[in-house]
Amino acid sequence: MRVIPAIDIIDGKCVRLTKGDYATKKIYNENPLEVAKEFEANGILYLHLVDLDGAKSKHIVNHKVLENIAKNTALKIDFGGGVKSNEDVKIAFESGASQITGGSIAVQNPSLFLEWLNEYGSDKIILGADAFDSKIATQGWLESSEKDVVEFISEYEQKGISYVVCTDIAKDGMLQGASNDLYQEVLLKTNVKLIGSGGVSCVDDLVKLKEIGCDGVIVGKAIYEYKITLQELRKLC
């Protein structure tokens, strides 16, 4: 299982939110590259980079942060937030993203999302399945839908998706454990490479997600609040 630290960006700074609420913003570092380099120095190979300004603005905003990290580290970066158009996808890949996560666009404009999947391939395009009460949420989690998250993932698997980042919004930033039951259901009903996200609070949570069969897990606030140390992640990696 891949351990994937997260860097969320607002105004070019490394922040965390709770349950996706922008009013809960907490700045952890004003230099995201510094954070990324520290991850790399501790044996981390992957990074989940989210443009929260982009998610709100509906187009990429912080691509310079992506470019700076990609140029100055060897981290394999999956990038999301505000990827809504062909131009956004082009900017993200040209700025150094290894993969791109599309969430809202996969709900609101599936034909365009599938164009990207067909053009770039299932190793490059990740489905973002963010859910609240098992229903898909969009627009940086500011809007909800009536679409069941497991059905949503299953339908996209049939269309060629391999990688899925699934976030339980109710768990995000709460440091109360991951959504193990949801992930077990997804893995029971599909064969996607599932990346769990939200709620990880300790190393035991990572162990449980590995046992469930997740391909990867995104870790955010647990790192920034020192619930999981980089030394512990180094051992896991």
Question: Residue 235 in 3-state DSSP?
Answer: helix
Q: Looking at residues 111-127, what average pLDDT do you find? A: 98
Write out pLDDT tens, residues 163-216.
999 998 888 777 888 999 999 999 999 999 999 999 999 999 999 999 999 999
11 is catalytic: no
H or E stretch covering 98: none
Q: Would the pLDDT of 137 be above 70?
A: yes
Is residue 79 a contact partner of residue 92, using CB atoms and an 8 Å limit? yes
The DSSP 8-state label assigned to residue 131 in this structure reads E
Write out pLDDT tens, residues 57-106.
999 999 999 999 999 999 999 999 999 999 999 999 999 999 999 988 99
Question: What pLDDT shows up at residue 139?
Answer: 57
| All domains in the chain, ordered by first residue | 2-236 (3.20.20.70)
168 is catalytic: no
Q: Would the pLDDT of 140 be above 70?
A: no
Q: One of 88, 130, 172, 205 is an active-site residue; which one?
A: 130
**78 has which bridge partners?**
48, 99
For 5, list phi and psi in degrees, rounded to 5. Answer: -65, 150
Q: One of 8, 53, 78, 168 is an active-site residue; which one?
A: 8
Q: Would the pLDDT of 232 be above 90?
A: yes
Residue 213: other Cβ atoms inside 10 A: 14
